[in-house]
Amino acid sequence: MAPAKPTEPFGHRFTDQGLLAQALTHRSAGAPHNERLEFLGDALLDLIVAEALYARWPRADEGALTRARAELVRESTLARLARELDLGPRLMLGPGEMKSGGHRRDSILSDALEAVIAAIYLDAGYDACRAAVLAWFAAELDGFEIAKVGKDAKTRLQESLQAKQRPLPAYELLAESGDDHAKTFHVRCSVSEPEVSAEGEGGSRRAAEQLAAEAVLAALARLD
């Protein structure tokens, strides 16, 4: 039987199909799964997007570039790109994740896309990886207006309190639930002057804190 021909499902012709298979294997389907690749892909994605932003906006300061990168590599953006690349149907999931629709979940899709980035890098090197990622992000980068990227809720809340010489907010993890690969975090954000608190839930502690901070900002605005 002739060997299978390499395919280009993500804009890259894999020489090592095993790398692609691993990148698309969720931990629920057994080992080798994609978590180590996800770790490497996350770092590569940050570098590639940072490099692109640095080149495109030579006058933007560090803060603007940092916020722009966070906007571009956030979970929801990666999940949407994964759907555009038809990544979901290619995922290898365990029976439980298949039954619960894991191939449609933002967290699983975004993690798998990062794993694919690492797989391309290990298969063909940085230049090939960079070319593939920039092709995926072409529309995002072309339509991006760095001047309109706002600060996140936690930063805005901290700066607002500092400007009024008030104590900084406190964040408390109230609960976390779910399996290791699909946890939900429940967080409270509190400020003491005036006494206001609000809660938020998210797929990561950071996301939950951002939602709680946004709610506190809204409550403070009503009091002003």
Q: Which residues are catalytic?
A: 42, 114
In 3D space, the residue among 113, 85, 105, 106 whose CA is nearest the CA of residue 24 turns out to be 113
Strands (E), the chain: 170-177, 184-192, 195-202
Structure-token pair, residue 127: 């230049």
Residue 114 marked as a ligand binder: yes
Task: Determine the residue type at 220.
Answer: L
**140, 77 contact by CB (below 8 A):** yes
Long-range contacts: 56-62, Cβ < 8 Å, 24+?
A: 56/141, 56/146, 57/146, 60/146
The token duo for 122 is 């290990």
Could you give the CA distance from residue 201 to residue 84 in angstroms, rounded to a whole number?
Answer: 27
Report d(CA 141, CA 137) in Å as an integer.
6
Which token pair is 155?
């930063």
CA trace torsion 120, 124, 130, 132 (10° rounding): -60
Tokens 């206001």: give the residue.
Answer: 196
Residue 168 CA, distance from chain mean position: 27
The binding site comprises 38, 111, 114
The binding site for Mg(2+) comprises 38, 111, 114
